[in-house]
Amino acid sequence: MGTGKKVRIDVNTDWCKGCGICIAFCPKKVFDPLPDNKPKVARPEDCIECMLCELRCPDLAINVGGGSDGRK
Amino acid sequence: MGENERQAVLMSGNEACVEGALLAGINFFAGYPITPSTEIAEGLAERLPRHGGKFIQMEDEIASMAAVVGASLAGAKAMTATSGPGFSLKQENIGFAAMAEVPCVVVNVQRYGPSTGLPTSPAQGDIMQARWGTHGDHPMIALMPASVQESLTLTIEAFNLAEKFRTPVILLLDEVVGHMREGIVPPRKEEIMIKKRKKPTAPPEEYLPYRAEPDGVPPMANFGDGYRFHVTGLVHDETGFPRGRGSDGDYLVRRLTNKVKNHFVPMVEEYLTEDAEIAVVACGSVARSAKRAVNLGREQGIKVGLVRPISIWPFPEKAIKDLAGKVRAIVVPEMNLGQVALEVERCACGKAVVYRLNRIDAELITPDEILAKIQEVK
Amino acid sequence: MAVKELLDRYTRMEKLPHIWCPGCGHGIILGSVLRAIQRQNLEPDKTTIVSGIGCSSRAPGYMKFDTLHTTHGRALAFATGVKLARPELNVIVLSGDGDCAAIGGNHLIHAARRNINLTTVVFNNSIYGMTSGQYSPLTPHKRFATTAPYGNVDHPFDLCQLVIAAGATYVARGTAYHTQMLIDLIAKGIERKGFSFIEVVTQCPTYYGRKNKLGSAIDMLNWQKEHGVPVKAAAKLPPEKMEGKFVIGELHCTQRPEYVEEYQRIIDRMERE
């Protein structure tokens, strides 16, 4: 199970090109594909903040963990 | 020796080019060995580190030109030197320097071409290449020294023009000017006017790297000064970024060509042309023979004069137009099959008959040959 | 390290979204380069990014540094001029497999031979993407491209071995899939003084993927996952097990005098005389 608390995940849908990489490689299947294949943050409570979606997003469109408050 | 009678120094044109570059404040040279320009690289390899400057022999002429542009963008006064084959290889990056408005000096000590040609023999076959060697419409400044003294002074001038116009400046020597030795009196540093590129006054966040001032030239920040700007060979707007728009290209290319066309002051020497009925138009080493021929002609009572373009590009159109209005005939001696002659014919517009005198057997054109032509056309 | 911070400090956000195709690996590498810069805490005002021509070489346009988009294949030669003229600058070169290994090959081996302090990241997607799908010196034998309609006759370079042989002191290979490792490899390349070279195996779904029926960006990333074998693991595998696979991680790391410093020693010597 995830950390239990609701992790804030922002998706910049202007920059996202719907490649589906985040959806495919999220170890906890947090995202569901929208009709245009852009990610919907379906189950943020399962997010373990592994940051792989952020790292692998080719469009720099995903921000995990809210603001830039110095979170790891 | 009086304090002001300074010592004359015997040196070659290539060596004078090195002295001129040092007096101009060169602090970066990248080059590649090629006859007949190698002495310039050798001289700067030895002298630059003594002045805290940097010399590098790159893997080829393309890389040398690239390194010069990179160094200039980092704030250096940068130069390279080559000859025909290397000059051909450098063209794409010379075009980049013109497009991105990067000051630099490119010395081409012309040798007999085309191709490998006669590496140790003089020629003037790269004149059109100096203007149109790289693709697309672009500005180009090219100077042609006719003596060892001028090899020094025009190198300084080349750096000043590059910094003033933010553009590459070509210095067209030929093997004779490069290798012959003459006694010259180098100017003292304090006598020389050194031009530096305009610095931006706007703070970094408002800096538009390609917004030109009324003279058509944008102030230039250097890499590492905190302006964090973008430089590209793509058509770009005044922010420096590409938008793929033809309108940006139209504006930019016109500005680039006009900044030189509208503000460059042609450099031409006129000798005994006031009452001339015949004129010789000659540049570089050939102009030396031409001057002698003019003197010989005058001794024979022929009203002949010499017009010597020192800045060959932009071509001194007005000087030739006016000349053609004054004289009946213009003789154009060249160590090629006619390149300056094309420009002279274009500017004369038929007002004077243009006679070509071409020699491409790797020998200098002699005063007597030019005199014979003058006698023929008078 | 949230992406917001990365964007604020190091990215020209007004230039995004970028021009690369959906799923193209270049965006992943761009993000990794930015994260490596962030980790090394480079002073942005003293950092210059240089690129050549091609899809990869549009990356500097999105990066908030002094950026130089040069001519095809010549990024390393331009970068050599920048670095030698102003040594205190951090100079990072971003190039593609065609830009760096084909037309730029001569400058690559000489920059490595000089061991000049540049960090070079090659976006290796085995294709010329910008010109829509020709094979490059890193396209595998028998693969298809618009200029290899009957299968590539050429055999690719092992670019890392080539650069090691040329004299580079830090050489690594990463992939877009192994993103965390990639950031580590680039960060170490930046940190090390001398010629640091990182080849990144990445996906071009639009041309290389389609032309060779390799599926989507996701399938191509999974291919990287299954075929990229870390150095330690690869050392234990018999050769036949490495068939069709490639080694990832730090391949070479040694010490050699750095070019600009060596030249500065000459200048210092002149001043002493």
The CATH code of the domain that includes C240 is 3.40.50.970
Tokens of B330: 């213009």
C270 close to B (CB below 8 A): yes
Residue B31 phi/psi, 5-degree rounding, is: -155, -175
Nearest by CB to residue C24, choosing from A58, A65, A72, is: A58
B38 close to C (CB below 8 A): no
What three-state secondary structure class fits B284?
helix
C76: left (phi over 0), alpha (psi -120 to 50) or beta: alpha
> Interface partners of B (3+ CB pairs, < 8 Å)?
C
What span, in angstroms and rounded, lies between the C-alpha atoms of B283 and B158?
Answer: 17
From the list B209, B212, B311, the residue with the least C-alpha distance to B254 is: B212
**pTM of the entire predicted model:** 0.97
- Residue pointed to by tokens 């037309």: C103
pLDDT at B3: 55
3-state percent helix, strand, coil for chain B, nearest multiple of 5 = 40, 20, 40
Dihedral, CA of residue C31, residue C37, residue C38 and residue C41, to nearest 10: 180
Average pLDDT over chain C reads 97
Mutation site for C-interface testing, chosen from B48, B230, B237, B241 by largest number of C Cβ within 10 Å: B230
B163: left (phi over 0), alpha (psi -120 to 50) or beta: alpha
C272 close to B (CB below 8 A): no
Which of A 38-57 lie inside 8 A of C, CB atoms? 52, 54-57
pLDDT at B4: 61
Distances B176 to B334, C97, C258 between C-alpha atoms, Å: 13, 45, 40
CB contact under 8 A, C28 and A71: no
Tokens of C26: 């270049």
C200-216 per-residue burial string, b: 16 or more CB within 10 A, e: under 16: bbbbbbbbbbebbebeb
What span, in angstroms and rounded, lies between the C-alpha atoms of B56 and C222?
Answer: 45
CB contact under 8 A, A62 and C3: yes
CB contact under 8 A, C82 and B227: no
Closest chain A residue to the Cα of C182, Cα to Cα: A55
pLDDT digits (tens, 9 = 90+) for C240-268: 999 999 999 999 999 999 999 999 999 99
Closest chain C residue to the Cα of A55, Cα to Cα: C179
pLDDT at A70: 40
pLDDT by residue for chain C (273 residues), tens only, comes to 579 999 999 999 999 999 999 999 999 999 999 999 999 999 999 999 999 999 999 999 999 999 999 999 999 999 999 999 999 999 999 999 999 999 999 999 999 999 999 999 999 999 999 999 999 999 999 999 999 999 999 999 999 999 999 999 999 999 999 999 999 999 999 999 999 999 999 999 999 999 999 999 999 999 999 999 999 999 999 999 999 999 999 999 999 999 999 999 999 999 888
Pairs of CB atoms within 8 A across A/C: 84
pLDDT at A68: 46
What span, in angstroms and rounded, lies between the C-alpha atoms of C114 and C100?
Answer: 17
pLDDT at C10: 97
pLDDT by residue for chain B (378 residues), tens only, comes to 455 677 899 999 999 999 999 999 999 999 999 999 999 999 999 999 999 999 999 999 999 999 999 999 999 999 999 999 999 999 999 999 999 999 999 999 999 999 999 999 999 999 999 999 999 999 999 999 999 999 999 999 999 999 999 999 999 999 999 999 999 999 998 999 999 999 999 999 999 999 999 999 999 999 999 999 999 999 999 999 999 999 999 999 999 999 999 999 999 999 999 999 999 999 999 999 999 999 999 999 999 999 999 999 999 999 999 999 999 999 999 999 999 999 999 999 999 999 999 999 999 999 999 999 999 998
C71 close to B (CB below 8 A): yes
Which residues in B lie closer than 8 A to residue C81 (C-beta atoms)?
28, 30, 66-74, 76, 78
Which residues in C lie closer than 8 A to residue A58 (C-beta atoms)?
20, 22-28, 31, 217
Task: Judge B/C contact: 3 or more CB pairs < 8 A.
Answer: yes
Mutation site for C-interface testing, chosen from B80, B222, B232, B237 by largest number of C Cβ within 10 Å: B232
Give chain B's domains with CATH numbers.
9-191 (3.40.50.970), 268-377 (3.40.50.920)
CB contact under 8 A, C45 and B58: no
Parallel, antiparallel, or unpaired: how do β-strands A62-64 and A9-11 relate? antiparallel
For residues B36 and B81, the answer to whether their CB atoms sit within 8 Å is: no
CB contact under 8 A, C45 and B226: yes
pLDDT digits (tens, 9 = 90+) for A39-59: 999 999 999 999 999 999 999
What span, in angstroms and rounded, lies between the C-alpha atoms of B239 and C28?
Answer: 26
A20 close to C (CB below 8 A): yes
Nearest by CB to residue A60, choosing from C7, C23, C216, is: C7
pLDDT at A71: 41
Give the C-side interface with A, CB within 8 Å: 1-8, 11, 16-18, 20-28, 30-32, 35, 176-177, 179-180, 183, 216-218, 221
**For chain C, how many structural domains are there in total?**
1
pLDDT at C192: 98
Give the type of residue at B88: S
Which residues in B lie closer than 8 A to residue C84 (C-beta atoms)?
28, 54, 56, 67, 71
- Would you call the peptide bond into C17 cis, given omega within 30 degrees of 0 as the criterion? yes
Closest chain B residue to the Cα of C260, Cα to Cα: B54
Pairs of CB atoms within 8 A across B/C: 133
From the list C252, C81, C239, the residue with the least C-alpha distance to C159 is: C252
Domain range for C99: 3-272
Position A69 pLDDT exceeds 80: no
pLDDT at A6: 79
Q: Please, which contacts does B163-166 make with residues 24 or more away whose CB atoms are closer than 8 Å?
A: B163/B77, B163/B103, B163/B195, B163/B196, B163/B197, B164/B195, B164/B217, B165/B103, B165/B139, B165/B141, B165/B217, B165/B259, B165/B260, B165/B263, B165/B264, B166/B101, B166/B102, B166/B103, B166/B197, B166/B217, B166/B218, B166/B220
Q: In what order do the strands lie in the sheet with C170-175?
A: B230-232, C66-69, C47-51, C90-96, C119-124, C196-201, C170-175, C246-253, C228-230
